[in-house]
Every structure is written in structure tokens, then in C-alpha cells.
């Protein structure tokens, strides 16, 4: 048994920032699913939105966020993120995050879709990678933080589950005591006991066939929380990034939003523009508008992609401002200074997740969720560009402050039962896992994508329910592997997305259905799902 005051599941910005703050108050254990360097944060190109320019106003950032969120943002959360954001960004800079600056030494603030002014701090086009590269060495060197790489959480250990094992009435409220964790190197499942558990596992982009997310984004934290009876909110709002690179040799490569912020123009294959037909903000409209516009153009023309044109910029500017995109495209034979970039929409960000309060705590006492795993109310029905890392760093601090109080109130359980594999045996073939994984992702892309209908959603629900039943049977009969853990979580999240989408009988933000094409004030509320234990 591994014991600590805080157990952090995930090593992206949310997990690292929480760990550094929580270590002031107690011992911290961090679980990294593969290597600590691999996280959703690492692939965040654009930046972090915050009011750092004297000419900008907090009220403007608040308003831009509310407009993008299509009526479902929690204003209190938006205001606190905008208010606390600059302090958190200054702390990142104090730790050494090298945000880009102009020749005068001022922050080189970018502008992205939905923002009314330049307020996006960035490290060229590799902001997330720079943040991880800065924070991770500090975490590794910290005497009160232990980092376990290649450890994937399987399920939460909580009071209600322990009570059911002994035929007792589950306590109300429920509280968390730790997690079962698979060591990928040995195949052993360990017990990690903690007073506070923090889910920072990122999103669930891999539930879709085409995504900008890395392979690790299988919704683990959301799925574990759901199985523990935690409230899950707004899973229908899946953000599709408008511009992922379209190339047979490019896997999950994002063409940053900042390119449109710097004047990038979307064109059809014939060279004609089209965004003016969909929104007066054209390429600077929020992501849901741009993604639907591209999807509509592709369906209308039958073409496989559209093109993002940056050729009006000098080569020196493109290679300096967007070195990652410039070099990646060049490696594939695309000279972005001379030719437009082929792009398509792809699943990018989950605006829903574990329903949490103003300090990131879920409906289970002592269980927190921070970052994309959570649903704080900041994003509403559509995330404003570069507000994701802002939310992660703001709520990491708030959760750590609250968690410091919780560890003084909650006992560290040292009597937790060991993992019981039952009669499970080694799998005789992996094709069942890979085939089912592919089937889920194709089903979700075809039926629960950018444009939805009730008929498609019902078809998806039927198929996902059958797959969930098959996976559950296989799960209990087979020894655990990381692939099986991820598949189980992926199928669980797919079911939550489908169910949430069916319940919202309107079009709002990222959820657009042809059966209910208008916004309906009767649905001006969160879609909250809760599993009875």
C-alpha cells in the first residue's frame, strides 16, 4: 500500500500545479499514465488567456467568455477565473515559464477566436510543452512529492463501496479513501491510500475517430468518477477544433487557433473564401461556429478538407511565430509560406466532466477534479479559446487550498482491501480490444459528431450499450492491462456523451441537432447525470 495525504491522478498542468501548492500542506503522490511528459497539456499550442495588458479590461474577458458559453457559463466562476488568472500567470512566470515577449520586453499577447482583443500569453506555438518542461523538474525535485510513472488508475476506493462489500448502508455523504492503480510494468494492481484524491486526467478526445488529443485521452477520471456515483455534467458539449492538419502521415496534429488570430483565411479547394457566409466575425468566430461552417462546406462540396491560408505573411514571421507548425508541415512537404494548409475539424476538448464546486470538489467528499476532467461552469456550452489552461491553473490553486482543510478532517485509511482479481485469466488475444476500441470511435464520429440527429443518437446509444455490456463481461473475466482499462473508460464516456446529447432537445453551443435547430430557453440549465449506487 502506498500512502500520502494527496493522491493526484494525472501529470498535466492541473496535476503539477495542484501538487506544488498542496505540497505546502502535506505529502503528495502523482500518478502519470505513461511518462510524466505525456499529457494533454503538452499539446496545447495556443496559450493561456488572461488580462495582462493595461488596455484590456476584466469585464471584456468575462463578456467574451459568457458569449462563447451560450448562456450556460456560471458567471461566478467566470469572474473568479478572470480575476485570479493574472496572479496564477505571474506565478508561472516566477517558476520560469518563458512566455514570448516583443523587442521591448513586453508580453507578446496573441488574439484567438471569440476574444475581443489580444490577451493570450504564449510560448510561440508550444505553450503547453513549455509549461510542462518548466514545472516537471520542480515537481521531480520536491521532497514532499512522489511521482509514479506508468501507473494507470483503475477505480476509486470510497466509503460507499466499502460499505456495500460488508452489506452495510452506504454513508451519506460519501467520501473517498484512495484508488486501485495498475503498474503497467509489472501488471500488478496496487492500493494507493490518501485523504484527498484529485482527478487531473484530461479529456476524452480518443472517444472519437478523429481528434487532436494524444492517445492517453480516454476519459479515465470522468469514467472512474461516474462509477463511484459522482455527478457528471454537460457531456454533450464536445468541442471540435476547426483546424487539424489533414495529411495521411499526420496523426492528431493541431494547427493552432492563433494562426486565425494572426489573419489566417479559410478557403475552399477552388481558392474561394466562405466564412463570411456563416458569421460576420469570419475566421475569428468561436470554434463551434467555424467547425460547423467547415463541416457544412465539406458536405456541400464533397471535398475532403478546406485550406488555411497564411501565405500573406512573410516566411520569417511564420517560422518565428509558429515554429512547431512550420517545421511539422515542412516535414510533410507543405511550405506554409507558399501554400495553404489542408485542415479538417477534429474532436478537441470536453466542456463537460465531473460536476464540481467553486473549489473543484465533487459530490464525493475529498474527491476533487481539476482541468478538463472537471465541469466548473467556466466554459458553459462552448469553451472560449485558451481558457482551458487558465481554468486548470486557477482551480489547481483553489482545490489545493480546500484540500488542505480536508486532510485535517479526514482519516487516512490503512485497512483498505487489496485488489481481488477473482478468476480472471490472461487474455489470449488483443484483437477484441482493438476492434471494439475502433468500433466505438467510428460510431461516435458517425452518429455523435458536429451535427447530430435523434435518429443517429438513438442508433449510437443502442450500439454503445451493447459494447459496454460486452466490455464488462470481458473486463471481469480477463486480467487487467492498460488497454483494457482505457477501453472500459472510453465506452463509459461514450455512453455519457450520447445520453447527455439525447436529453438536450435544442441546439446550443457545441451541441447542434438538426431535429431541434433552435435554442430553447427551457434547456437553459446543465445536463446532470448521476448513477445510483
Task: Give the pLDDT confidence score for residue 251 in this predicted structure.
Answer: 76
Domain ranges of the chain: 2-43+124-236+351-409, 242-347, 431-518
Mean pLDDT check: name the lowest of 8-22, 140-154, 167-181, 268-282.
Answer: 167-181
Following DSSP, what letter does each residue of 57-111 receive, concatenated? -HHHHHHHHHHHTTT-S-HHHHHHHHHHHHHHHHHHHHHT----B-TTS-B--B-
Give the separation between CA 66 and CA 77, rounded to whole angstroms.
Answer: 11
Residues belonging to the chain? 533
Residue 267 a catalytic site member? no
Q: How confident is the model at residue 257 (pLDDT cuts 50, 70, 90)?
A: confident
Say how far apart CA 462 and CA 482 lie, in whole Å. 26
- DSSP code, position 42: G
Higher-confidence residue of 223 and 43: namely 223
Predicted pLDDT at 376 = 98
Query: Cα torsion for 463, 440, 491, 250, to the nearest 10°?
Result: -160
Structure confidence at residue 272 (pLDDT): 96
Residue in 195, 287, 292, 463 annotated catalytic: 287
Per-residue pLDDT at 432? 83
Per-residue pLDDT averaged across 163-186, rounded?
91
pLDDT tens-digit map of 339-366: 999 999 999 999 999 999 999 999 999 9
Could you tell me if residue 339 is left (phi over 0), alpha (psi between -120 and 50 degrees) or otherwise beta?
Answer: beta
Residue 216's pLDDT band (boundaries 50, 70, 90)?
very high
Mean pLDDT of the chain: 95
The matching CATH number, chosen from 3.30.450.270, 3.40.50.300, 3.30.365.10, 3.90.700.10, for 242-347 is 3.90.700.10
Chain segment 412-426, per-residue pLDDT in tens: 999 999 999 888 888
DSSP output for 469-510: HHHHHHHHHB---HHHHHHHHHHHHHHHHHHHHHH--S-BTT
135, 390, 366, 229: CA torsion to nearest 10: -120
* Domain 2-43+124-236+351-409 annotated CATH 3.20.20.20: no
Domain 431-518 fold = Methane Monooxygenase Hydroxylase; Chain G, domain 1 (1.20.58)
Give pTM, 2 decimals.
Answer: 0.93
Residues 6+ apart with CB under 8 A from 437: 483, 486, 487, 490
- In this predicted structure, what is the pLDDT of residue 169? 81
Decide whether 2-43+124-236+351-409 matches 431-518 in CATH topology. Answer: no
Amino acid at each position: 500500500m502506498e500512502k500520502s495525504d494527496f493522491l493526484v491522478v494525472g501529470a498535466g498542468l492541473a496535476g503539477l500545479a495542484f501538487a506544488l501548492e498542496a505540497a505546502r500542506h502535506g505529502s503528495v503522490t502523482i500518478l502519470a499514465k505513461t511518462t510524466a511528459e505525456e499529457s494533454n497539456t503538452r499539446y496545447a499550442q495556443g496559450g493561456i488567456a488572461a488580462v495582462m495588458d493595461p488596455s484590456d479590461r476584466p469585464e471584456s474577458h468575462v463578456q467574451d467568455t459568457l458569449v462563447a458559453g451560450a448562456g450556460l457559463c456560471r458567471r461566478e466562476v467566470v469572474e473568479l477565473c478572470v480575476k485570479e488568472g493574472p496572479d496564477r500567470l505571474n506565478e508561472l512566470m516566477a517558476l520560469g515559464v518563458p512566455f514570448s515577449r516583443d523587442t521591448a520586453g513586453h508580453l507578446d499577447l496573441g488574439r484567438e477566436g471569440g476574444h475581443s482583443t489580444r490577451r493570450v500569453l504564449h510560448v510561440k506555438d508550444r505553450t503547453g510543452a513549455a509549461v510542462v518542461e518548466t514545472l516537471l523538474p520542480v515537481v521531480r525535485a520536491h521532497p514532499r512529492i512522489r511521482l509514479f510513472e506508468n501507473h494507470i488508475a483503475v477505480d476509486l476506493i470510497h466509503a460507499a463501496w466499502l460499505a456495500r462489500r460488508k452489506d452495510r448502508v452506504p454513508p451519506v455523504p460519501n467520501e473517498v479513501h484512495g484508488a486501485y492503480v495498475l503498474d503497467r510494468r509489472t501488471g500488478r494492481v496496487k492500493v494507493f491510500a490518501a485523504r484527498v484524491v484529485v482527478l487531473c486526467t484530461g479529456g476524452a478526445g480518443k472517444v472519437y475517430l478523429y481528434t487532436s488529443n494524444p492517445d492517453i485521452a480516454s476519459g479515465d477520471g470522468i469514467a472512474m468518477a461516474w462509477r463511484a456515483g459522482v455527478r457528471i455534467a454537460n457531456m454533450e458539449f464536445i468541442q471540435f477544433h476547426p483546424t487539424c492538419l489533414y495529411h495521411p502521415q499526420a496523426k492528431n496534429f493541431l494547427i493552432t487557433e492563433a494562426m486565425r488570430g494572426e489573419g489566417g483565411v479559410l478557403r475552399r479547394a477552388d481558392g474561394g473564401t466562405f466564412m463570411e457566409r456563416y458569421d460576420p466575425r469570419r475566421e475569428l468566430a468561436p470554434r463551434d461556429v467555424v467547425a460547423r461552417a467547415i463541416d457544412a462546406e465539406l458536405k456541400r462540396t464533397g471535398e475532403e478538407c478546406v485550406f488555411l491560408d497564411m501565405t500573406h505573411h512573410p516566411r520569417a514571421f511564420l517560422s518565428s511565430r509558429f515554429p512547431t507548425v512550420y517545421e511539422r508541415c515542412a516535414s510533410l512537404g507543405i511550405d506554409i509560406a507558399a501554400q495553404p494548409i489542408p485542415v479538417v475539424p477534429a474532436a478537441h476538448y470536453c466542456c463537460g466532466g465531473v460536476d464540481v464546486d467553486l473549489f473543484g470538489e465533487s459530490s464525493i467528499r475529498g474527491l476533487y477534479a481539476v482541468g478538463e476532467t472537471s465541469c466548473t461552469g467556466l466554459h458553459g456550452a462552448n469553451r472560449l479559446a485558451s481558457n482551458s489552461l487558465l481554468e486548470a491553473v486557477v482551480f489547481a490553486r483553489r482545490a489545493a487550498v480546500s484540500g488542505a482543510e480536508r486532510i485535517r478532517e479526514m482519516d487516512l485509511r490503512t485497512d483498505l482491501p487489496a485488489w481481488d482479481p477473482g478468476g480472471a485469466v490472461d487474455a489470449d488475444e488483443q484483437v477484441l480490444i482493438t476492434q471494439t476500441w475502433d468500433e466505438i470511435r467510428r460510431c461516435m464520429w458517425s452518429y455523435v459528431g458536429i451535427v447530430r440527429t435523434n435518429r443517429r443518437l438513438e442508433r449510437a446509444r443502442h450500439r454503445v450499450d451493447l459494447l459496454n455490456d460486452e466490455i464488462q463481461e470481458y473486463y471481469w473475466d480477463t486480467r487487467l492491462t492498460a488497454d483494457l482499462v482505457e477501453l472500459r473508460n472510453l465506452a463509459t464516456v461514450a455512453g455519457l456523451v450520447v445520453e447527455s446529447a439525447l436529453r438536450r432537445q435544442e441546439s446550443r453551443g457545441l451541441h447542434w441537432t438538426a431535429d431541434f435547430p433552435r435554442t430553447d430557453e427551457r434547456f437553459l440549465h446543465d445536463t446532470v447525470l448521476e448513477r445510483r449506487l
